[in-house]
Amino acid sequence: MNDVSAASSARPTPMMEQYLEIKTANPDSLLFYRMGDFYEMFFADAEAASRALGIALTKRGKHLGEDIPMCGVPVDRANDYLQRLIAFGFRVAVCEQTEDPKEAKKRGGKSVVRRDVVRLVTPGTLTEDALLEPRRANLLAALVRGRGASGGVRFGLAHVDVSTGAFAVTEVAADGLAPALARLEAAEVLVPDALVEELRDQLAETRAAVTPAPRELVDPARAEARLSAHFGVATTDGFGALTKPELAAAAAIVGYLERTQLASRPPLSRPVREGRGEIMEIDAATRANLELTRRLSGEREGSLLDAVDRCVTAGGSRLLGMRIAGPLLRPEAIARRHDAVAAFVEAPDLRRAVRAALASAPDLARAAQRVAFGRGGPRDLAAIRDALAAAEGLGARLAALAGAPEEVTAIAEALASADHALGRELAATLGPDLPLLKRDGGFVRAGSDAELDATRALRDESRKVIAQLQAAYADATEIRTLRIKHNNVLGYFIEAPQAHGERLLKAPHGETFVHRQTMAGAMRFTTTELGDLERRIGEAGDAALRIELDTFEQLAAHVTEGWAGLRATADALDALDVAAGLAEVAIAENHVRPHVDDSLDFRLEGARHPVVEVALRAGGKPFVPNDVDLSAPGAEGGLIQLVTGPNMGGKSTYLRQAALCAVLAQAGAFVPAASAHIGAVDRLFSRVGAADDLARGRSTFMVEMVETAAILNSAGPRSLVILDEIGRGTATFDGLSIAWATIEHLHETNRCRSLFATHFHELTALARRLERLRNATVRVAEWKGEVVFLHEVAAGVADRSYGVQVAKLAGLPASVVRRAKAVLDELEAADRASPVERIIDELPLFAAARRVAEEGPDPTVEALDAIDPDALTPREALDALYRLKNLRGQS
């Protein structure tokens, strides 16, 4: 008997058996297991969630002789906890009850309610407002390696914002993968299992959650069939000439959404192909250094995007963020954006009216997506209603604008063609005070549905309805003392005094009034009408909610049918908000329209740093503007400007503001300058500041060298390179040598436009030998032994760095400052006796760089780069090996 008891106690309960079965099917996710009004977690899930969320860990029964750890979160607050778990990097499987508990009881007293996972919540598949940043896109990306149209190794890269349905694909070379991922800043990236380790470094720079994808999910052979099935088309030819890697990446996105969203399917736009070579390439280090969309600490505040974002809608801010993250290359496309901004700069009354109207337009894209996805509520319908109302008014206003530029005309046409009939239907149906959840009811406007109004009247005014029926019966029978009453036994009944009750048993009333009970001095009756009324009163609450839910489903079906049109309207509103917002910032901050063309020119007059200027103004200080000129007319390359000057003088600000002006100009914005002429920059590189990467075993200097190597190996004549203090992280002569060789390589091999700030004053002598190198310095003045930073950049060379003076300003002890000055005097005297001038005069400069440029790339390396190992048969691999060996022997 004891053995039987022990065996019985070790056996899991039916509920725990169900939990373990579902958990086994979702091993890599926390399981939110629905039990009544709570999502419960057990075992290791409970322990992990308890630590992450700071909630109590309890116990529930035993399993295999051990206590079962348990914790839970309320269903009505689940989104709050999901947001925190996703931020910690968890995936969550949401397990709901899929049958009515009454049905489970019919199978037996110990039967467990059926449950199943209805959704996997991952960082890249969020749709709820509570889980998303309103002004930031939330992207799910997928990459697949294959062969491009040219035959070389290429990566297909697809990305989708599940919260809006926007879907795009592109193809990049291996050296362009990291910048492309950095531009997207995806929340989650799907990577083939076989590539996760190989691409570990590139993926680490994205800060995205990396999800290994099994082979069947990224199999190119299944891609076209999967995409065709999802979009309900016979062929993917209508998507454009997508390459095999692009198709495979897009199909991986679709397949992953099918796996994670299970019964639901988010509506997606057909994948739009992003043109190759149409977006400025910016690597992750440069984005971080320049703080384009976020500061190094991760906040949006203080970034370039934050400084120029005057959008009044969340969708507009998201679009502006994407434009700054991916500036354009083609001058014609850039000019169209500038034309739109200029139109609103020149029409202040229109700009103010447009911005006021946009402020009343909620987030149409995300609201429509949630409704079409089956996750929306009444407030989402109201958001669609209000956005369509704003679109209708804005379309009419823009249509009246004479001589509107191309982009504004396109926006006006899109707004005019919006589904205004749907907007009017929503306005006529929805009430003024809306609940968050449709199950709460009360969102349908009174007077829009006669049946609902009658049902609500029964629910809310049953006494009045009964009184009206009682008066009707009293009039019909001429019994003024007739009453309709209620008790828990009979329900509703008609009561009349005994003398009058006898009359009701006879014609003509006998057919209407049915006798139920005789009391001392009274008789009780019912009627078919009263019985029906009683039933309807009892069911009125449920019936009213049922009618409202049916109405919601009808409206949601209309939204789903018109989803593509709503997306187009949302895109038009976003583009309009960006144009008007950039015009607002141009007026408020005195920005000017830049001229962008295909030349190698780069001239800024009176340029300013858009972020620093705002910060200085807040502190009551002016910003000192400076000119930048990297143009070299007639030369096959741009100028290198070597900037020397004191610490705290503004060299880094000067360098950064030139880069930020290029980003703003090519993103379609005006720039903080008196005038600007920019030859389109194809690649932007920045090596500014000092930071280590201890997680990957890299010192500050190693990080500096890795980033510098990437620049020197990638930059071309159309690039813009910003370098600050190269070589300062090591010994003086080592650093000077590296900086020297770097300038030589930039001049002779890269031939790019470049700003190079340094404290190695010896490098300024290189201007005598390098025809496209110019010296500039940040001016200072000394007054009564104190240094005054003028923040002005002028042609010339600095005579010192004023580091000791800066140390004094920082508060170093006076004795340390005095000693430092004495040591500096000795070192400078020794330096003047050094043979640096002779080295510069006699060393054959850039000979090595010229030799590499003349010899060209190694054919063996080129052949190796063209091989896709995953696509080779064993025989082809052996043949490729012999070809490489022969090439190596020839070289």
- Does residue 782 surpass a pLDDT of 80? no
Chain center to CA of 364: 16
- Does residue 849 surpass a pLDDT of 60? no
Structure tokens at 156: 């297909």
Q: What is the SS3 assignment for 709?
A: helix
- Does residue 462 surpass a pLDDT of 90? no
Give the list of residues 6+ apart from residue 505 with CB closer than 8 angstroms, or none. Answer: 513, 515
Ligand-binding annotation for 16, yes or no, is no
Summarised one tens digit per residue, pLDDT across range 247-283 is 999 999 999 999 998 878 899 999 999 877 789 999 9
Percent of the chain whose predicted confidence (pLDDT) is above 90: 58
Helix 651-667 to helix 331-345 angle (10° resolution) is 90
The owner of tokens 């009964």 is: 466
- Does residue 1 surpass a pLDDT of 90? no
- Taking the C-alpha atoms of residue 546 and residue 540, their distance in angstroms, rounded to an integer, is 10
Which helix or strand (DSSP H or E) is residue 652 part of? Answer: helix 651-667
Task: Report pLDDT for 761.
Answer: 83
Task: Report pLDDT for 103.
Answer: 80
Task: Report pLDDT for 2.
Answer: 39
pLDDT grade for 411, boundaries at 50, 70 and 90? very high
pLDDT grade for 728, boundaries at 50, 70 and 90? confident
Strand order of the sheet with strand 166-173? 209-213, 188-192, 139-147, 153-161, 166-173, 272-273
- Taking the C-alpha atoms of residue 600 and residue 719, their distance in angstroms, rounded to an integer, is 9
- Taking the C-alpha atoms of residue 361 and residue 418, their distance in angstroms, rounded to an integer, is 14
Residue type, 227: L
- Does residue 429 surpass a pLDDT of 80? yes
pLDDT grade for 707, boundaries at 50, 70 and 90? confident
| Percent composition of the chain: helix, strand, coil (DSSP 3-state, to 5) | 50, 20, 30
Average pLDDT, the chain: 87
Q: Supply the pTM of this predicted model.
A: 0.85
Ligand-binding annotation for 648, yes or no, is yes
pLDDT grade for 511, boundaries at 50, 70 and 90? confident
- Does residue 841 surpass a pLDDT of 80? no
Q: Any idea of the CA torsion for 499, 503, 505, 506, to the nearest 10 degrees?
A: 150
pLDDT grade for 646, boundaries at 50, 70 and 90? confident
- Taking the C-alpha atoms of residue 453 and residue 226, their distance in angstroms, rounded to an integer, is 47
Ligand-binding annotation for 651, yes or no, is yes
- Taking the C-alpha atoms of residue 250 and residue 210, their distance in angstroms, rounded to an integer, is 17
| 128, 79 Cβ separation under 8 angstroms | yes
Mean pLDDT is lowest, of 11-15, 585-589, 719-723, for 11-15
| 408, 401 Cβ separation under 8 angstroms | yes
pLDDT grade for 9, boundaries at 50, 70 and 90? very low
Task: Report pLDDT for 843.
Answer: 59
Summarised one tens digit per residue, pLDDT across range 518-549 is 988 899 999 999 999 888 888 888 899 999 99
Which helix or strand (DSSP H or E) is residue 251 part of? Answer: helix 244-261
In terms of phi and psi (left: phi > 0; alpha: psi -120 to 50; beta: otherwise), the region of 240 is left
- Does residue 459 surpass a pLDDT of 90? no
Summarised one tens digit per residue, pLDDT across range 489-501 is 788 999 999 989 8
pLDDT, mean of residues 616-622: 90
Ligand-binding annotation for 645, yes or no, is yes
Summarised one tens digit per residue, pLDDT across range 650-686 is 889 999 999 999 999 999 999 999 999 999 999 999 9
| 44, 57 Cβ separation under 8 angstroms | no
Residue type, 850: R
Q: How many helices (H) and strands (E) does the chain have?
A: 33, 27
Own/partner long-range contacts of 455-463 (Cβ < 8 Å, ≥24 apart): 455/536, 455/540, 455/543, 455/544, 455/547, 456/540, 456/544, 458/533, 458/536, 458/537, 458/540, 459/537, 459/540, 459/541, 459/544, 462/537, 462/540
Mean pLDDT is lowest, of 19-23, 61-65, 770-774, 861-865, for 861-865
pLDDT grade for 363, boundaries at 50, 70 and 90? very high
- Does residue 4 surpass a pLDDT of 50? no
Helix 378-399 to helix 364-373 angle (10° resolution) is 140
